[in-house]
Chains A and B, each alone.
Chain A
Amino acid sequence: MSEGNGQGTEGGAAAPGRAVIRIRGLTKSFGDQTVVHVDDLVLGAQPVEGLIGPNGAGKTTLMRLIMRSTRADTGSVTLDDGASEVALSKLAPHRIASLGVVKTNQVTQDFAGLTIWDSLLLAVAQRRDERPHRIYRERHLVERYGEEIQSYLDVFEFSEPGGFAHSTGEKKLLDLIRCLLLNPKILLLDEPTAGLPEDVTAQVIELLRAKVAAGMSVIIVEHDLDVIWGFSDVVHFMAEGDVILEGDPDYIRAHSTVVEKYLGSGHV
C-alpha cells in the first residue's frame, strides 16, 4: 500500500465519466525475481497520471500486465467505468484494446513491410492482417480515417507517408498515432519520448494535451522529468515492484525517497 499526500488521489475515486483501472493483488515473477507485487492500486482517476521509478522497478511489466501482453501469476485487473466493472485480466489484449485501454511500446514495434500510411491504416482495419495486399483491400478506410491520419502526419511533419519509416523516432511516433486512431479511453504510454528531440517531445505532449482535454486519460511512464512534472496531475512512484508513493508532482519530486532512489541530488 502506498503512502500519499491525498491531493487528488483520495480513494482513487474516478472523476465523473472517467473510467479507471483497478489493480488488486497483482504479482509477477521471472524465475526467483519478483518484479511486480501490487496489492491495491487505482490508475486513471485523474486525467494524466505519471508512473516513475528506478530502472527495474517494474513499470513496464505492470503496464504489460494491464494489457495482458504478460500474464500475471496472481491478482486481478479491472476496468471500472462507474457503471460496471470488467475483468481485463480475463481478456485477450485485442479485446482490452477494443474496450478503450491501449498501450504504446517501450521498444519500438514496426511493420517493416508496410509504408507509413499502410501501417497506420492497419490500426483501424477490420482484418488485422499486416500483408500489404490485405490492407489494400480495405481502402474504404481512407474515406473514414484519411483526414484524421493526415492530421497526425501533419503534426509530426511526415513528408513522405507513401515511404517507409526508418528511424527509431519515426517508428515511435507511428506507434503513438496507431494508438490514438483507436480513440482510447485510457492510453498507457511506455517512455513515449525516449530518443525524441526536445521539439518533437513538445509536439507529442501538445497533441496529448488536446486529447486529454477531449476526455482521454493518460498513464505515462517516462524518465524525461520535464514531461512528468509538467504534464502529470498525479505521480505514482514505483520501486521494487510496488507503488510506494503517490501524490501531486511537487510532493513526489521533493520526497526524500524519490530523491534518494531515483532523482539523485542533481535534480532537487
Chain B
Amino acid sequence: MFEASGVRCGYEDIDVIKGLDFSVGEEVFAILGANGAGKTTLLSAIAGLLPLSAGRIRFGGETISGLPPWRIAAMGLGFVPQERGVFGDLTVLDNLRVGGLVARQARGDRIDEIMELFPALAGLRNQRAGTLSGGETKMVAAGRALMQDAKLLLMDEPTAGLSPLYVENFFDRIRQIHETKQVAIIITEQNATKALEVADRAMVLSLGEATTITDAKNLTTDQLRKGYQI
C-alpha cells in the first residue's frame, strides 16, 4: 500500500531525512524518535508538502513523490499536522465539511461519527475554528482528516495538547478506526508506550535514519534508547 525507497529530504541544502527505506501495509505504523529525528519532516514529505531530494514514495501502486499535495490527498492520503492545520475563519462544521469534499460516504453520517469521537466539538459546531483552544483545534484537524475517505492517515503527534481523558479515548479510537474502516495509519508520537500499544509495527528514527523497524510488541527498550540516544 505504501512504500518509501531511498528517501532523502530536508530544508535548503541540508537533508534531515538521510535515505529511508520502509513500507507500510494495512496496519498501524508508529514512528518514534527524539526531537529533531526528522519525524515531522518525513510526514510532510509523504503528504507532498516538502520535495524529496532523492528517492521515491509509492502509494496505492502509484508514485506520489513529485505530485502536488491536493492530488495526493485526493488519492486517499489524509494528513493531520502537528500544529494548527485548521481554517481559522471557518466554523468547526465547515472545517469538517471541507475535509469531506473528497468523501464518498454521506457527509452527515461522517460528521456524526466525528462528534461521537470528540464530544467536545458537538457544542462548538458553529464556532470559528480560530477561536478554539489548542486541544480543540487538534480535534478538528484530526476530524477533518477522518472526513476524507482516506486509505492512509498520517498523524503527527495527534495527542500532544489533549487532556488525559481524550488521550485515552483517542488511542482506543485509533485502533477502532483502523479496524472498522480499513484505514492504514502512520502515527508519530512522543508517548512511545501508548503508541506501541496500538501499533502493529514501529520504526525508530535517529537523526534522519531508521535504527530499527520491527513488530511493535518486539521493540526492546534498548532499541528505543538507541534511537533516542539515551
Contacts and interface: CB of A to CB of B under 8 A. Distances in A.
B120 interface: yes
A261 B120 CA distance: 11
Nearest to A264: B165
B213 interface: no
Contacts of A115: none
A60 B134 contact: yes
B84 to A, nearest CB: 7
A245 B11 CA distance: 47
A195 interface: yes
B162 A55 contact: yes
Interface string B145-181: 0000000000001001111111111000000000000
A200 to B, nearest CB: 6
Contacts of A108: 83
Contacts of A196: 35, 190
A107, A108, A168, A225: residue with the most chain B Cβ atoms closer than 10 Å? A168
A167 B36 contact: yes
Given A54-B165, A225-B164, A168 B135 contact: no
A195 B162 contact: no
Contact of B131 (A31, A107, A197): A31
B190 A166 contact: no
Contact of A56 (B82, B84, B133): B133
Interface string B178-192: 000000000000101
Contacts of B37: 167
Interface string B131-143: 1111110010000
Interface in B30-79: 34-37, 40-41
A197 B36 CA distance: 11
B163 A55 contact: yes
A31 B128 contact: yes
Nearest to A53: B163
Interface string A23-66: 00000001101010000000000000000011111111100000
Contacts of B228: 197, 199
B35 A223 contact: no
Given A168-B40, A191-B161, 6 more contacts: A55-B134, A55-B135, A107-B134, A191-B134, A194-B161, A262-B165
Closest 3 CB pairs of A and B: A169-B35, A55-B135, A30-B131
11 contacts: A31-B127, A31-B131, A33-B131, A54-B163, A55-B162, A55-B163, A56-B120, A56-B136, A60-B133, A195-B82, A264-B165
